[in-house]
Each structure stands twice: as C-alpha cells, then as structure tokens.
Amino acid sequence: MNKETVGGTILKLVLLSFVVGMMLKLFNISPMGFLEIIPNAIGRFFELVKKILSWSSDYIFIGAVIVVPAYIILNIGNIMRYLKRKKS
C-alpha cells in the first residue's frame, strides 16, 4: 500500500465516523447504549429468521412435491447421459 492510499482510507474512515456519530447523536444513542442493544437486536434477528423458516417450510415442501419430479422428468436425458459417462 502506498501512503496516498493509506491517508485516503484514514480520511474516509474519519469522515464516515463523523457522519455516523452525528446520526447516532440525532437519534440520542450513546456508544454504550448502542453496545447494549446489539445482543437484543441479534436475538430478534434470529427469531425473525426462525419465524420465516417456520412459515415457509410448508410451502417449500408442498411445492417440492410438484417441482422435483417435474425437474427430473424434464432433465431425464441429461441425467442418463451423465450416468453413462460416469460408467465409462
């Protein structure tokens, strides 16, 4: 890395930190307050992922009953060629 790149990167980080700090101050969030809400936010994120997977799993399995056999039927020629090449 040359000095110009390092200096430019440091300047960008300082400016970005300034903007983020202003936004946090605007929403009345302190650095300690921000660090305190991170575990709660992560927990809520994983709860949301769990709910989405729970909701969508029924639809995925029902759709797979149609999609997987249709895929196999439409690609049976490619599958047979692959198996023949694998035997040779």
Banded model confidence at residue 31, pLDDT cuts 50, 70, 90 = confident
pTM score over 0.85: no
Task: Give the span between the Cα atoms of 54 and 49, in whole angstroms.
Answer: 8
Q: Where are the domains of the chain?
A: 3-87
CA atoms of 37 and 29, how far apart (whole Å): 10
Greater model confidence, 49 or 88? 49
* Mean pLDDT of the region 13-37: 89
pLDDT for 44 equals 94
